[in-house]
Amino acid sequence: MTNSPTDAFLFFRAWLSAPLRVASVTPSGRALSSLMTTEISANTGTVIELGPGTGVFTDALLRRGVAEKNLVLVEYGAEFANQLSDRFPTAQTVQMDAAQLRKLPLHASAPVGAVVSGLPLLSMPLRKVHAILEGAFSHLRPGGAFYQFTYGPKCPIARPLLDRLGLKATYIGWTLANIPPAAVYRITRRRPRTML
């Protein structure tokens, strides 16, 4: 179980050393992890999690029925990656920058049906966000979705970038029960327009 005092301390210490990378002083709460994973189930297939930190969303994915062997945890911070490897030994934990996602060595037994992102996209340069999305959608099967939360008032991915990549954002919901309150968006490929 995550959100223990040890996890909170690890998260806070990581935030102190790299506030723009971690972007929050505490791990996400149970209400946000439930909202982030509400559309995911055992039928989703492989799930790539970006920036899992202490594993709050990872635990929620397991509660939704996703098999641990179908989880690919992409974590930049060594302090978190080591803990995730110990806590979720059957999952594939990869320590790398999510901007390099296209090069992810994927050893999945099922197609990737979802990407769950705990990354602070609002604090990242546009070029990096572009690389993350492009990499994520290079692995997602048709119909797959990218889930992103934000503490901001609107989708953290700018409309021009969505347009450039042929993506659309759909608001899933928000929760006041998280500190700070957060909203969740589903990002999917746009359907090609049909000719009349």
Tens digits of residue pLDDT in 75-126 = 999 999 999 999 999 999 999 999 999 999 888 778 999 999 999 999 999 9
Q: What is the pLDDT of residue 4?
A: 58
Q: What is the pLDDT of residue 15?
A: 45
Partner residues linked to 174 by β-bridges: 183
**Full-prediction pTM beyond 0.95?**
no
Q: Give the HSE-up count for residue 170: Cα atoms under 13 Å, Cβ half-sphere.
A: 10
Tens digits of residue pLDDT in 57-71 = 999 999 999 999 999
CB-based contacts of 138-142 (< 8 A; 24+ apart in sequence)? 138/101, 138/102, 139/48, 139/101, 139/104, 139/106, 139/112, 139/115, 140/112, 140/113, 140/114, 140/115, 141/45, 141/111, 141/112, 141/113, 142/189
Percent of the chain surpassing pLDDT 90: 76
Q: What is the pLDDT of residue 194?
A: 62
